[in-house]
Amino acid sequence: MSGRAFVIGGGLSGLSAATRLAEKGVAVTLVEAAGQAGGRCRSYFDAALGMVIDNGNHLVLSGNRAVHDYLARIGARDALAGPERAEFHFADLASGARWALKPDEGALPLWVMQGSRRVPGTGAKDYAAYLPLLWAGTAARISECVPVTGALWERLMRPFLLAALNTEPEDSSAALAGAVVRETLAKGGWHYRPRIAHPTLAAAFVEPALAYLAARGAAVKLGTRLRGLTLSARDAAALDLPDGIEPVGPGDAVVLAVPPWAACDLLPGLMVPNEFRAIVNGHFRVAPPPEFLPQDGAPAMLGVIGGTVEWIFAFPDRISVTVSGADAIVDRPRDDLAAILWSDVVDALGIDTVLPPWQVVKEKRATFAATPAQDARRPPARSQWRNLFLAGDWTQTGLPATIEGALRSGETAAALALKHLAL
């Protein structure tokens, strides 16, 4: 192919598009405003902790097709760690109850027939009540389709959907929830074994991608912000970069893989999600208790019911926690948040340790709000300009804002760009 491809944005959607285009022999230029690639999925040395950490606990699942395709492409197939079977442990801080969810590997859910394997306080019939999510319409909220009370909701479905949607599940899109359930819970445990980047997000998702691009002659420009686009009636005609104007021919392709608010600035009139939800992560430099030590490089993981913390991840040298849909707490002082989060860790893990060295990472606009109204604002990958394509977890992927959605959006944009370049 003689045409060039310019990928604007070095987050996971941009890296997905750039590596796919480079794989097909396209001359790629990747432009990223920040000094490092990865976007919200980043790793850095934290001076307060004296160690390299990820900004948050970005969990993926064994059935995430785009994740595994991307890692295989960049030579990082073994960069995820996790248990051999799907098994999820929970602790209810209010009642003191503890249990483990142990689903079957296949799609036939025999596990719900066994009280020792299902959520305490639930019966087999309770699970069938969530089947309507699988065919929910795009305008429906979850609370309009399925029960949002009871033990199954409080102890499994609500925390699962909150983690996936990063929005209060009751008001979230039933269609997006259904998409997640179809690809995970409905397919059996083999498809939702938990996986986490090992040893870091950057080592798994970012550094191998940059090496892959370099090996194929791609130009990667970090710390370079696109200041504007010149658009003709039919095409993107030029990129305004700090080092000058870069002409773009009709036979070239541009993939715009930036956050939605940045896309609006570059493409006035573009309709995008405009409501967002926060995530708060806490990291504590302390070894977990012996019974909670990670196995085989995979961090131990505990779901928390009835606390501020929702998920606890135990690494050999630290404990990390995540709070999704965290708008109610994100503006609280960091010292207060550290104390609140650590109190939940102490209760959940049964340890008696004073607050260790800590770091709190706030993402105020972590994801778009996964409501029906906001989902309807997500644009397709194809724009009104022939050679300009959109990527990002906020585009219309059919999934909520997840790593899987971001990578799929990059694949879609790259496929459209390749068709254009082949004309």
Tokens at 227, concatenated: 């200041």
- Among 304, 301, 326, which Cα is nearest to 315's? 301
For the chain, what percent of residues have pLDDT higher than 70? 99
Mean pLDDT, the chain, whole residue set: 96
Task: Note the pLDDT of residue 294.
Answer: 78
The identity of residue 344, as a single letter, is D
Q: How many Cβ atoms are within 10 Å of 343's Cβ, its own excluded?
A: 15
CA distance 193 to 84: 7
Tokens at 382, concatenated: 């194809």
Helix pair angle (158-165, 174-183), 10° resolution: 100
State yes or no: pLDDT of 295 exceeds 80: no
208 versus 353: the higher-pLDDT residue is 208
299 confidence band (pLDDT: 50, 70, 90): confident
Task: Note the pLDDT of residue 198.
Answer: 87
- Among 28, 138, 214, 36, which Cα is nearest to 375's? 138
Report the residue count for the chain: 423
35-43 average pLDDT score:
95
pLDDT digits (tens, 9 = 90+) for 81-104: 988 899 899 999 999 999 999 999
- Strand-pair partners of 56: none
pLDDT digits (tens, 9 = 90+) for 188-224: 999 999 999 989 999 999 999 999 999 999 999 999 9
Say if pTM beats, i.e. exceeds, 0.85.
yes
Task: Note the pLDDT of residue 83.
Answer: 87
163-187 average pLDDT score:
97
State yes or no: pLDDT of 296 exceeds 80: no
CA distance 166 to 231: 35
108 versus 398: the higher-pLDDT residue is 398
166 confidence band (pLDDT: 50, 70, 90): very high
Q: Give the neighbor-by-neighbor strand order of the sheet with 27-31.
A: 219-221, 27-31, 4-8, 253-256, 388-390
DSSP β-ladder status, 4-8 and 27-31: parallel
